[in-house]
Structure formats: structure tokens, C-alpha cells
Structure 1
Amino acid sequence: MKGRAKFPRTKFGPPTAFLLCFLSFLAGFFFSNLLSQDVPGVRPGSRVLESVGNDGGGDLMPFGETGDSSFQVIPFQVLSWKPRALYFPGFATAEQCQSIIEMAKSNLMPSTLALRKGETDESTKGTRTSSGTFISASEDKTGILDAIEQKIARATMLPTTHGEAFNILRYNIGQKYDSHYDAFNPAEYGPQKSQRIASFLLYLSDVDEGGETMFPFENGEKIDMGFDYRKCTGLKVKPRRGDGLLFYSVFPNGTIDQLSLHGSCPVIKGEKWVATKWIRDQVEED
């Protein structure tokens, strides 16, 4: 009968052996993390998106006189392809938003409408009940509106020269804007020197309840049915201070996107402030 194999006895006691095992575990954990960072196909954890320089994972390209010296990253979420609508969280800081509100407060007037053929102020009364004012970036000595305007240009790839002045709007409880198009159909409004092709809404305040931006025809639903333009229905975007909403009113071929119909739901609780930037297909004259 063969005897059992004998192994040399060690001089390590139980505490020492436990310590060595623990140190081996830590070393293995550390080196496995290092290796996993370089293994192709390993999905990294979520990270905060930010602007990066030369260490951003690639060499910078030579840039022209009007270009940027570093990579620019602006987080966004596609809300809809029909219409084309994108959401930009944290587009502006709370301080920037409050400064814009303070600029506008003393100059607010009842909002007006561009009238279609056959419409009058009386027949459209109640369609748009907010108050607002226009402020161009050149009027703002703080530079805040200029910084926001430059960022909008990067997000949309539409130059600042094509943007109208900011329309700063306030909606109190019960105030709203019925469904409408930002683009002007020449058949309804007459010949146009230029066309509004995109709109960027910067929400300057949170709203406790109501005040959503809504797209009732999202994905083509209800477009062939009788529709009450006063209803708050469809895709709804809740205002959050500092966030932005971009949507396109015109297709690349120049035709108006019928699904870009949108409106502002009535504010139920709180107050809504928003800065709207309309962008045209031609250079906008001051």
C-alpha cells in the first residue's frame, strides 16, 4: 500500500497566511482593473461628457481661423425623428438663466402673433397669452447671451448670423400658446424673404406643473384627423432650468415639416421662463 505524499511544513501561522492571501487578492484586483481598461470590447462605465484637449483620444486636426482649438462635446438626447427634436440637458447654468430673467423682467409686453391672411387680433385673441421681450446678444454687456448664442451655433451647426434676437418669455398660471408652426407658409403669410428653419428653446426656470412644450403630431399621429389646436397632447417636454430643446421646422429640401406643429401647455402651478432663438435660412438683418 502506497503511502500519502508528504509536503514540507511551513513556518507560517494562521494569521500570517491570512494576511498573505488578502494581499494577493488586492494585487489581483488592482492588475485586473488595469488590464480591463485596454481590452477591446470592454464597455466602460458611464462618464460625464466634457470638452477635451489633446488627450481626448486622438490628434487634433488643423483648424481654420473660425474653428476651435479643442474638441467640443455637448450632451444631447434625440427625443423624436418625426419631428426632429433634440434635448440638451444642462445647456446653461442656473446663474446664466437667472441673469437672463433679470435682463427681461422690466421690459415685458404682451406677446404678439404673426397674422395669416384673413386673421385679426380679435380673431386670434387667447391663442398666445404669454408676455415677453426681444434681446439681442449685442445688447447684453455681460456676455451671457453671446456665450449661449455661440453654444447654440455649435449644437445646431447653424451660424449665429442666421439667428433672430432672443425672445425672452414668461408664462404665468393659466398662460399658454396654442399649437402652431414657427415656419411661415407663403400660401398663408405671403412671400417671405427668409424662412425659420429651426428653433432652440432654453428653459430658464423649472415649472412645478404644466407648461410643457408639446408636439401633437409626433410620428404622424392624428395629422389626418380633426384636431383641436388648444389641446395639450402628444409628445411633451417638461421645462427644467438650464436645459435646451432644439427642433427643426423645415426639411433639408426646404419644405415645411408638418409634424413640427407645437405649442406650450398652460402653466398649472409655478411660473415658466424660456428664451427662444429662432434660426433662419438667410442672414438675419438687425
Structure 2
Amino acid sequence: MKTKTVKGNWRWNWRTNRLGLPFVFLICIFFFLAGFFASSIFSHYQEREDDARLMPRARARLTGKSTEEETEYNLLKAGESGDDSITLIPFQVLSWYPRALYFPNFASAQQCESIVKKARVGLKPSTLALRKGETEENTKGIRTSYGVFMSASEDETGTLYAVEEKIARATKLPRSHGEAFNILRYEVGQKYNSHYDAFDYAEYGPQKSRRVASFLLYLTDVPEGGETMFPFENGFNMDGNYNFEDCIGLKVKPRKGDGLLFYSLLPNGTIDQTSLHGSCPVIKGEKWVATKWIRDQIQDD
């Protein structure tokens, strides 16, 4: 009887184990999946909550607009030449080497069209600042655009004045340090080989002032080509083999109303070698751009 009882217990345990292990396994899977889905739902909810909390800040960064509900500013009393309100001009850092910033929707379509209309009647072949030993003949083909210089005082519509004022706010460089606008037109095939906007003393001789920065306002869309390019961006292509006609490196596509700011001088006053830039040939369409060169000294009117 004792042996039989043990045998019977053994059979019962074997059957129980055979039925119980799958059951226990299924229970474990159930709780694992339940915990996994619960964790995912909580994580998704937390992300949406974080996004909702950060959205006003992100929207203000992207659009440059803010409401009282999103942000409240406790403004200080402005000085004699300051502003009583905050100026928001959205920008994107395209590069630190060179220091290049992009300003979307900097000017309206109407402003761009007004500038083009005003400049069109005075266009002449663009010229170059010649280095020692250079002549117009041996530099032919480097710059093939047409252009005209116009100061804000020559524009009775007030458009150039408004753009100039906004450039000063964006760059934190006074209007009095800017040259007259150089408004340029590039047709199909026209371009400007890579060059520096700041002039090296050794190559150009003594100067009263130097160009610190350049602001380009694109006045038209360009379907293909016409990019502003920086071949030495981040130190690339500086081994001495670069062909100054090559359209390589960081390229900025012209878009009507957008602006591009880049600095020609480093904080120590020397030329930033990575600020070498040019205009790629236009392949389709027509490129119009208003260039504002800003110097380290006040410019005569």
C-alpha cells in the first residue's frame, strides 16, 4: 500500500506539472505584455505632455512670434537710443566656420519687387576691386553680373531704409557703418568666382576701413543654380589645390525675401580664411540680390 500510495502521488504530481507549467508560462507572458504596454502608454503620454509644455517655446523660436500666454517679458527702461519693445528676428546658424546665419522671410515680397523695379533701370556690368598687378582685362570673367549701387536716401519708397534698419538690428552693427546697397542681377550662366569681401592689406594696400560683415538679401527665387557657396567651410579644400571657379562646399539656395549674413573678419580683426565665397552660375531663371557690406568705421553718405 505504501508503495502504491507513493506511486499514485507521483502520477498526480506528474500530471499536475504537465498541465501547470504551460499555464504558469502563459501567466508570465500575460503580465510581461501587460507591463510592457502599460509602460509604452505611460511613456507616450509623458512625451506628449512634455511636447505640449515645450511647444510654445519651440513655436516662438521657429516663427519669432510670442503671445502673452506663452511668454511674459519684464522689460527694463530703455536708454536714449534703445527700444521699449522686444525685436524678434528669427535666424538659423548655417555654419560657425565661417560664421554664417540665415534669416528666413527677412523681407516681404512687395519689398523685394520694389527694390528690383528701382534698380533695373540703372544696371551696369559689375566691377572688381583690383589687386596689385591686376587689370580689367586679365580679370575678365571672374564677375559677370550686372549691378548698381543705391543708398537708402535714393529710394523714395522708403523700402531700402526699412531693410537697412532691420539689417542693423539683426547684425547689431550700426546703419552708419554700412555701404550703399549693391543690387545685382545674375542671368543664366553668370556667376562670381570665389573671393573675400575683406581686402588684405598686403594685396590691396592701405585702407580707411575694412568690411566686417556682409548681408545678402535675396530678391528672387532661383529655380536652379545661383547658390552662394563657401568652399572652405569648416576648413575643407584649403590644401592649396582649390580652383576658384568650382562651386563646392556649403551652398545657400536663393529664396525670395530671405537673408544671409556672414562675417569676413575674426574678432581679432584678421580675415577669416573660411569666409571665402562666391556665386554659382545661374542655370535656370534670374537671380537678384541686394548686398549690404558693413565696415568697422562710419561711412560717408
More helix by share: 2
Question: Is 2:283 the partner of 1:268?
Answer: yes
Percentage of pairs with the same residue:
67
Aligned to 2:106: 91
Aligned residues: 250
Partner SS for 1:63 = coil
| CA distance 1:146–1:54, shift in 2 (3 Å) | farther
Residue type of the partner of 2:54? R
Residues 9-48 of structure 1 aligned to structure 2 (within 5 Å): 42-44=53-55, 46-47=58-59, 48=63
Residues 178-217 of structure 1 aligned to structure 2 (within 5 Å): 178-217=193-232
Unaligned runs of 5+ in 2: 1-44
Aligned to 1:62: 77
Task: Map Cα deviations across residues 216-266 of structure 1 (whole Å, 9 max, x no partner).
Answer: 000001112311000100000000000000000001110000000000000
| CA distance 1:100–1:265, shift in 2 (3 Å) | same
Whole-Å separation in 2 of the counterparts to 1:238 and 1:44: 29
Deviation at 1:67, TM superposition (A): 1.1
Whole-Å separation in 1 of the counterparts to 2:104 and 2:201: 35
| CA distance 1:54–1:197, shift in 2 (3 Å) | farther
Deviation at 1:42, TM superposition (A): 3.0
Q: Which has the higher mean CA deviation after the structures are superposed, 58-67 or 153-162? A: 58-67
Whole-Å separation in 1 of the counterparts to 2:267 and 2:165: 22
Whole-Å separation in 1 of the counterparts to 2:129 and 2:136: 10
Partner SS for 2:114 = helix
Aligned to 1:122: 137
| CA distance 1:103–1:51, shift in 2 (3 Å) | farther
Unaligned runs of 5+ in 1: 1-31
Deviation at 1:206, TM superposition (A): 0.1
Whole-Å separation in 2 of the counterparts to 1:224 and 1:208: 33
Question: Do 1:164 and 1:277's aligned partners in 2 also have CA atoms closer than 8 Å?
Answer: yes
Deviation at 1:267, TM superposition (A): 0.2
Deviation at 1:65, TM superposition (A): 2.1
Question: Do 1:50 and 1:74's aligned partners in 2 also have CA atoms closer than 8 Å?
Answer: no
Task: Map Cα deviations across residues 149-187 of structure 1 (whole Å, 9 max, x no partner).
Answer: 010001100000000000000000000000000000010
Partner SS for 1:178 = strand
Question: Do 1:214 and 1:234's aligned partners in 2 also have CA atoms closer than 8 Å?
Answer: yes
Deviation at 1:59, TM superposition (A): 1.1
TM-score (norm: length of structure 2) = 0.80
Deviation at 1:52, TM superposition (A): 7.0
Task: Map Cα deviations across residues 46-67 of structure 1 (whole Å, 9 max, x no partner).
Answer: 4231377899512111112221
TM-score (norm: length of structure 1) = 0.84
Q: Which has the higher mean CA deviation after the structures are superposed, 114-123 or 223-232? A: 223-232
Q: Which has the higher mean CA deviation after the structures are superposed, 214-223 or 55-64? A: 55-64
Partner SS for 1:69 = coil
Whole-Å separation in 2 of the counterparts to 1:56 and 1:146: 31
Residue type of the partner of 2:196? Y
Whole-Å separation in 2 of the counterparts to 1:123 and 1:51: 54
Deviation at 1:140, TM superposition (A): 1.0
Residue type of the partner of 2:53? V
Question: Is 2:248 the partner of 1:237?
Answer: no
Whole-Å separation in 2 of the counterparts to 1:52 and 1:256: 42
Residue type of the partner of 2:258? D
Aligned to 1:155: 170
Partner SS for 1:236 = strand
Residue type of the partner of 1:44? M
Structure whose CA Rg is larger: 2
Aligned to 1:28: none
Residue type of the partner of 1:192? Q
